[in-house]
Amino acid sequence: MSTTTAARPDPAAASSDVVGEAARRRTFAVISHPDAGKSTLTEALALHARVIGQAGAVHGKAGRRGTVSDWMDMERTRGISITSAALQFAHRDTVVNLLDTPGHADFSEDTYRVLTAVDAAVMLVDAAKGLEAQTMKLFAVCRHRGIPVVTVVNKWDRPGRDALALMDEVAERTGLTPTPLTWPVGIAGDFRGVLDRRDGGYRRYTRTAGGATVAPEEHVSAAEAAAREPEAWARALEEVDLLTATAGEHDQELFLSGVTTPVLFASAVSNFGVGALLDVLVDLAPAPAGRPDADGAVRPVDAPFSGFVFKVQSGMDAAHRDRLAYVRICSGVFERGMVVTHAASGRPFTTKYAQHVFGRERESIDVAYPGDVVGLVNASALHVGDTLYAGPPVAFPPLTTFAPEHFAVARSVETAKHKQFRRGIAQLESEGVVQVLRSDRRGDAAPVFAVVGPMQFEVAAHRMAHEFGAPVHLEPLPYGLAMRTDEASVAGITASSGTEVLRRSDGELLALFTTKWVARVVREGKPHLTLEPLVAAQLG
């Protein structure tokens, strides 16, 4: 009687599979100032990838639906992105992980976390407004993190600025050399198509009703373009000649090293130029690479599984009130049900309920690779910044907590709902929706919400009332500055008027001051006290 032994997996083959799968991934975020069209572009990209049949609404357009990525009630009502969203879809032979970010400055901290989880960024520029303040702040984060940037000039179907002037602004304000891959045929407000600098041809667009379906695109030779659009084509050629003399052609190495930025012209609401952007991301954006750990050592993509939590979100499924931890896979293969180690506690963590996320919609996922974003359901032990791993231990750098600038005491409107109140506060705190500060003097019934921007108060109050059934009254406090301190300094700080010391959940003691002047008086009058600045909310 003969026996057979099951063949052991070939480590070299497994490593090759991981490297190959990682090479097929593109993980990027869309960044811009509010109202530049981020969520509309996100929807248009999903439409072109054929993962949705009809584009969602630009808010205010009658008869159109809300965007896939903006799923919160407040987002649909106010027409802005409040929370980040993850979408995954395929284009050609590539798996695209698209992370939509909040545009409003009040949610800078959430946007910063998302940018830690991507390998490239699409910087969306309004054709009429150019580079706005929040765009520049987010760009500064990308530059700091070495994230290559693709620039898209959006809303070219509306009146706007001169295309060459916009290129000058990009060069002057970002320090990057713009290398347009497409160039508009027709001035802003008269968008007919683009001259494709890569082949010299003309991509002519045709409008669809409300931009709800993919805009037909016709590829036309240069000779035919000159015959059809003599004036507009001649102008585009003249401007491209000027570009060639100054900006040159795309160079992949210079792009990846943060010297240049490829530029495309588009109208997300009309779906013009969106297909070209998808192709550019697949062809030019970098695949996932090894990621430095907290000690600076790089964990290669073919190392055993590792990932980090960059976002925690609850309230996506009202029927189940579950909690979803978004994990960026950094190395190895993720398999649903595998037992990994939670680096912060050293305890095992079972990944039984793992899902891919498409806006608010989710489906179970059995396997994922570096670059993918996996949602772990009911992961109450996980917090923003946590690392998970298998095999050799690893811990990725902690995520930055910004200095809050606005403060309010939260009190339950209905005292009988103290359990729901405490549960809701703990949930918002663990997600990073607000920082929660406490002190013995105020007690657990009156925690202090600390935020970067006041709109975070609105989100917190809305969620306390609608998700946890514990409406709150928020009483603003007069403080405008927070600094790190220690136990030995508390008495000296609080002896001065216009101050208070509270403890954050991570154990940090924060000294609050009504004004910078008050803080300066305390520091100069009592130089022995510990008062250290926190990371500023101004990105970059």
Asked whether residue 228 is assigned to any structural domain, the reply reads yes
On whether the CB atoms of residues 88 and 95 are closer than 8 A, the answer is: yes
Of 284, 315, 339, the residue that ends a domain is 284
**What is the DSSP code string of 384-452?**
TT-EEESSS---PPPPP-BPP-EEEEEEESSGGGHHHHHHHHHHHHHHTSSEEEE-TTT-TTS-EEEES
Residues 6+ apart with CB under 8 A from 411: 445, 446, 472, 473, 475
Do residues 231 and 172 both lie within one domain? yes
- Determine if residue 103 is labeled as part of a ligand binding site: yes
Predicted confidence pLDDT, tens digits, the chain (540 residues):
333 333 444 545 556 799 999 999 999 999 888 888 888 888 888 787 665 444 443 333 333 344 444 434 554 555 444 455 678 888 889 999 998 776 566 666 778 888 899 999 999 999 999 999 888 888 988 998 899 999 999 999 999 999 999 999 999 999 999 999 999 999 999 999 999 999 999 999 887 766 667 777 899 999 999 999 999 999 999 999 988 887 778 999 999 999 999 999 999 988 899 999 999 999 999 999 999 999 999 999 999 999 999 988 765 555 545 678 999 999 999 999 999 999 999 999 999 888 876 656 678 889 999 999 999 987 888 888 999 999 999 999 988 777 899 999 999 999 889 999 999 998 888 888 899 999 999 988 999 999 988 888 988 999 899 888 999 999 999 999 999 999 999 999 999 999 999 999 888 999 999 999 999 999 999 999 999 998 754 444
Which CATH number belongs to the domain containing residue 228 in this structure? 3.40.50.300
Residues 78 and 182 both lie in one domain = yes
Annotated binding residue at 100?
yes
Q: Which two tokens mark 203?
A: 């991509």
Q: Which of 261, 284, 307 is the last residue before a domain boundary?
A: 284
Task: Check residue 15 and give its pLDDT.
Answer: 66
Q: Are residues 341 and 217 in the same domain?
A: no
Residue 180 annotated as binding site: no
Q: How many domains does the chain have?
A: 3
Q: Is residue 381 domain-shared with residue 309, that is, in the same domain?
A: yes
- How far apart CA 192 and CA 186 sit, in angstroms, is 6
Are residues 120 and 201 located together in one domain of the fold?
A: yes
Shared-domain flag, residues 181 and 121: yes
| Confidence at residue 140, expressed as pLDDT on a 0 to 100 scale | 86
Range of the domain at 374: 291-389
